[in-house]
Amino acid sequence: MNIKGSIPALITPFKNGKIDFLSFSKIIEWSINEGSHGFVPCGTTGESPTLSHNEHKKVIEECIKVVDKRVPVIAGTGSNSTEEAIDFTLHAKDAGADAALVVTPYYNKPTQSGLFLHFSKIANSSNIPIIIYNIPGRSVVDMNIDTMKELSKIDNIVGVKDATNDLMRPLLSRQTFKKEFIYLSGEDGTSVAYLAQGGDGCISVTANIAPKICSQIQNYWKDGNIKLVQKLNNQLAELHYALFIESSPGPVKYAASLLNLCDEETRLPLSPIKESTKKIIKETMQKSGIIS
């Protein structure tokens, strides 16, 4: 399965409380032209918790339609309700998604056994390839390597988006799992280090506003041009940090507004970011060469 490289975790643009599908399509087209290797609609960065079920499905359908098979679409289909996650996953399969990104259940705090049963039931509901999204900072639970190893034995569980910032995980997992597995970083700031530990790419927040540089980093790594990888990684280092000064995707949406990609609007309970944060983001984008 050709899921690798720089994969933007797409923002969901809003205008006056409604999804701005015109801007959404514009962002996707621009990002493809800038070299992005795939997309994740309806992930954390896409504000999936505040999308209605109908909106969630429409965003995924629109992404698949606009992309038109040019790059893979990995639909965010996770939930803290197993049945709800199954519904989203079946929809993504029927809509034509290439894979589903399923987050570890938040709030419920399942055990490792509960995580295994949750993911195995979702996987057995459909033959769409599934990527586990392990993000303990948001979901509170952390899937350990042993649980992931057991899940990897299920044919259509094919990879992980690892947002633990634990750089031993891909190294240890590659030595433990008995099949090829896709290892995607979920942390922009350590994505190059993740590649060095055996990773295949990054599902990225920064790639929403710097898709060309993010894709070049992945391409140069593949080509073995480490000096250019380091140069570009240093160029984006402060930007990676600035985009998380406040809860994402508030900062990256403001950054996108500076590029005239969409409005900076988010949905409650996310609030508008502070003026001091805006100043830092703008200055960092200028320093990074994203805007003049």
Task: Enumerate the active-site residues.
Answer: 133, 161
Identify whether the C-beta of residue 128 lies closer than 8 Å to the C-beta of residue 89: yes
- The two tokens of residue 141 are 């639970």
Name the phi and psi angles at 253, rounded to 5: -70, -40
End-to-end Cα separation, the chain, in angstroms? 38
Residue type present at position 40: V
Classified as helix, coil or strand, 291 is: coil
- The two tokens of residue 106 are 């938040």
The DSSP code sequence of the chain is ----EEEEB----EETTEE-HHHHHHHHHHHHHTT---BB-SSTTTTGGGS-HHHHHHHHHHHHHHHTTSS-BEEE---SSHHHHHHHHHHHHHHT-SEEEEEPPTTT---HHHHHHHHHHHHHH--S-EEEEE-HHHHS----HHHHHHHHTSTTEEEEEE-S--TTHHHHHHHH-SS--EEEES-GGGHHHHHHTT--EEEESGGGT-HHHHHHHHHHHHHT-HHHHHHHHHHHHHHHHHTTSSSTTHHHHHHHHHTTSS-----TTS-PPPHHHHHHHHHHHHHHTS--
